Amino acid sequence: MRSSFAPSVHIKHCFGLEEPQQEGGFWRSLLLPLALILLTRHFLLEARYIPSGSMLPGLQLQDRLMVEKLSSRQRSPRRGEIIVFNAPQAFDPALKDSYRPGPLQCFFVNLPIIGALASLQAPACDAYIKRVVAIAGDQVVVDPSGKIQINGKKVFEPYVSNYCSSSPCKPLQTVVPAKSVLVLGDNRANSWDGRFWPGTNFVPEDQIIGRALFRFWPPNRFGSLLHPDPSAKPAAPATQ
């Protein structure tokens, strides 16, 4: 027969006698949010900042951007999009053997705070940000000033203002291979991009980290970074 004096969980709570915390509860409360943050950064969204002037004037030094990662897994990049991708040292055949990082090094380099440690830095673990100017199958010409033609048509890029005027830049005439894109910096006179890499002119699609979605800092420049394809034909005027 069950004793009528056996304390129940309800009575213990009424008298402030809590059940002892399960072993490992502290670490679970710490590791679960951390795992959620890392999964979000890896698969969905990630904040990035601009460390150089290669995308001036549109992207200023220290601008903070939100980069989304779903579209690069579902479709190929489009002309005019700003993408973040692995450094050329990670995929250029002429560079990657000299800059091969150690196991897990790139994982730790890309962790907040930890990645800032100088001892972890490696060129192949860096990320670059440029604009897609040509996609697979495009016949592209980049003249010495940095202006482009796609499939025989001159392209007006409203976000580019600093061309190679005082000293010519390296020209390029090529066809973009499958599963690749050609990227250039908006600051054509000061950008290390597909014109200058020693072993390839192109970024393989599997090296793309994500697409720049919007700028969230500084607040006075908050806004979308999405642009339509500049090589697309303008819509025909409506007829009366």
Query: Which amino acid type is present at position 232?
Result: A
Catalytic residue among 3, 8, 52, 54: 54
CA geometry: angle 36, 38, 41, nearest 5 deg: 110
Annotation says 167 is catalytic = no
Annotation says 153 is catalytic = no
Q: Which residues of 64-88 are buried (b: 16+ CB within 10 A; e: fewer)?
A: ebbbebebbeeeebbbbbbbbbbbb
The span from the CA of 219 to the CA of 114, in Å, is 27
Catalytic residue among 72, 130, 191, 231: 130
Query: Which amino acid type is present at position 20?
Result: P
Closest by CA to 234, choosing from 131, 124, 141, 156, is: 156
Active-site residues, by number, are 54, 130
